[in-house]
């Protein structure tokens, strides 16, 4: 089909913004709390305004609470979660150093790609998609490769697996004098995460998952050991924008200009983190576990299978096996068209094999879970799956 010719001299006719109202139960973003939306609509100030400096201080203090850390170097990186990911890896992996990464999910692969672009050599510790890393395998990989940096995914968004044994993994790394980077994109504010107690050197996250905040300012924390490495690099990191030795001047005591921070995104993150503090971090972890537990009970009573075993099930991201003979894409499309309900399909090795159903932040509410179980069951039934919708709805109701 021939495209019409464009005339840049004419103003485009674009109507008022009217996005649909969705219930977001996919792998992110999650539903945003009204308080966060209100915070984003408040007046803009300059990124070096004294009032914004106070807002920066508040945001850093609240981030430390959510990460369960006293790390001085705890900041929101200007950008999505991938920006905080690249800031951690790009600053801690120096050219010629070796980084150990996992193979058990999509985001371990992204770690590997970022490490290579930073000039690092990548080695892998293997585990099947849908299973966590085994500390025995991590120990063997360290003994063989002696990596300088070890990255792992605490909550693997592509498989619905939560990594247990975190202190055991960090202990292995530190016994070999390696630095530990933790991907906490789908765990911060949703499932237990204790950066200091677990001896994690650097951890990054995204705001749009369990914090229920629009993307744009992404959490990152580094302990003194990690920041000392950043500040003592022989050559600067390859990214000027994400160079933590430069960002330190803005987010540290000096508050010197580096770039124009996304002011409204920082407003949003501050308010989202206030909601975390108001609820209490442990109560928030419990809410996610209980609400997602009702979802899990419902889909299992319906006759569906979870991708992850119970001992490493991830409450914030529920990976549900697609029934045989069912087109996952058609089901997802029907849920969106018929119920304004968003879930997602699998990635990588699990493409077409799982539904990825989030239960995160403001989306982790009884009404959302009840809608999800009933709508998913009805839609699967319409697509010929052998599911007991009534049993699923009843099991969910009993847990909510």
Sorted by sequence, the CB contacts under 8 Å of residue 155 that are 6+ apart come out as 161, 162, 163, 183, 184, 185, 186, 187, 190, 191, 314, 316, 317
Tokens for 1, please give them.
């089909």
Tokens for 275, please give them.
């909601």
Query: Which residue do the tokens 């050559």 mark?
Result: 235
Per this entry, what is the length of the chain?
400
* pLDDT at site 144: 98
Sorted by sequence, the CB contacts under 8 Å of residue 369 that are 6+ apart come out as 291, 292, 294, 295, 298, 359, 396, 400
Tokens for 43, please give them.
């007046």
Reduce the secondary structure of 131-173 to three states and give it as a string.
CCCCHHHHHHHHHHHCCCEEEEECEECCCCEECCCHHHHHHHH
Query: Could you tell me how many helices (H) and strands (E) the chain has, helices first?
Result: 13, 14
Ranges of beta strands (E only) in 2-54 are 23-24
Instruction: Identify whether the C-beta of residue 293 lies closer than 8 Å to the C-beta of residue 301.
Output: no
> How far is it, in rounded angstroms, from Cα 265 to Cα 287?
25
* Digit-coded pLDDT (tens) for 341-376: 999 999 999 999 999 999 999 999 999 999 999 999
* pLDDT at site 85: 98
**pLDDT, block means (10 residues), the chain with 400 residues:** 71 92 97 97 93 95 98 97 97 98 96 97 96 98 98 97 97 98 98 98 98 97 98 94 93 88 97 98 98 98 96 97 97 98 96 97 98 98 97 97
Q: Domains of the chain (ranges plus CATH)?
A: 34-278 (3.40.640.10), 281-399 (3.90.1150.10)
Ranges of beta strands (E only) in the chain are 23-24, 73-79, 98-102, 121-125, 149-153, 155-156, 161-162, 179-183, 202-204, 216-222, 317-321, 341-342, 344-345, 354-358
Tokens for 56, please give them.
């920066």
* pLDDT at site 4: 66
Q: Which residues of 169-195 are buried (b: 16+ CB within 10 A; e: fewer)?
A: bbebbeeeebbbbbbbbbbbbbbbbeb
> How far is it, in rounded angstroms, from Cα 283 to Cα 287?
6
> 325: phi > 0 → left, psi -120 to 50 → alpha, else beta; which?
left
User: Sign of dihedral through CA atoms 363, 369, 371, 374?
Assistant: positive
> How far is it, in rounded angstroms, from Cα 162 to Cα 156?
6
């Amino acid at each position: 089909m021939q495209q019409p010719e464009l005339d840049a001299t004419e103003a485009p006719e674009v109507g008022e913004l009217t996005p649909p109202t969705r219930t977001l139960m996919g792998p992110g973003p999650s539903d945003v709390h009204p308080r966060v939306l209100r915070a984003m609509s408040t007046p803009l100030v300059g990124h070096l305004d004294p009032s914004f400096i106070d807002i920066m201080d508040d945001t850093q203090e609240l981030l430390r609470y959510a990460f369960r850390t006293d790390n001085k170097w705890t900041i929101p990186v200007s950008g999505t979660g991938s920006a905080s990911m690249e800031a951690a890896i790009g600053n801690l992996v120096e050219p010629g150093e070796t980084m150990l990464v996992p193979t058990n999910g999509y985001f371990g692969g992204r770690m590997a790609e970022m490490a290579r672009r930073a000039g690092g050599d990548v080695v892998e510790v293997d585990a099947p998609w849908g299973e966590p890393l085994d500390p025995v395998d991590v120990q063997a990989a360290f003994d063989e490769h002696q990596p300088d940096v070890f990255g792992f995914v605490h909550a693997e968004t592509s498989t619905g697996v939560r990594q247990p044994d975190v202190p055991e993994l960090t202990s292995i790394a530190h016994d070999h004098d390696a630095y530990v980077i933790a991907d906490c994109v789908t765990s911060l504010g949703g499932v237990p995460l204790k950066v200091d107690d677990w001896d994690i050197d650097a951890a990054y996250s995204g705001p749009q998952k369990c914090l229920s905040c629009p993307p744009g300012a992404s959490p990152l924390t580094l302990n003194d050991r990690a920041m000392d490495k950043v500040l003592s690099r022989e050559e600067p990191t390859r990214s000027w924008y994400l160079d933590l030795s430069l960002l330190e001047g803005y987010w540290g005591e000096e508050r010197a200009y580096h770039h124009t921070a996304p002011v409204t995104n920082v407003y949003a993150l501050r308010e989202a983190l206030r909601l975390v503090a108001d609820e209490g971090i442990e109560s928030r972890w419990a809410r996610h576990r209980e609400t997602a537990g009702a979802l899990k009970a419902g889909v299992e009573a319906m006759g569906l299978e979870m991708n992850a075993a119970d001992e490493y099930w991830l409450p914030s991201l529920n990976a549900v096996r697609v029934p045989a003979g069912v087109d996952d894409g058609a089901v997802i499309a029907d849920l969106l068209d018929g119920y304004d309900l968003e879930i997602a399909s699998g990635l990588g090795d699990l493409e077409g094999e799982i539904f990825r159903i989030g239960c995160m932040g403001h989306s982790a509410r009884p009404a959302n879970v009840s809608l999800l179980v009933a709508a998913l069951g009805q839609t699967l039934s319409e697509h010929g799956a052998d599911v007991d919708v009534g049993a699923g709805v009843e099991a969910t109701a009993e847990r909510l």
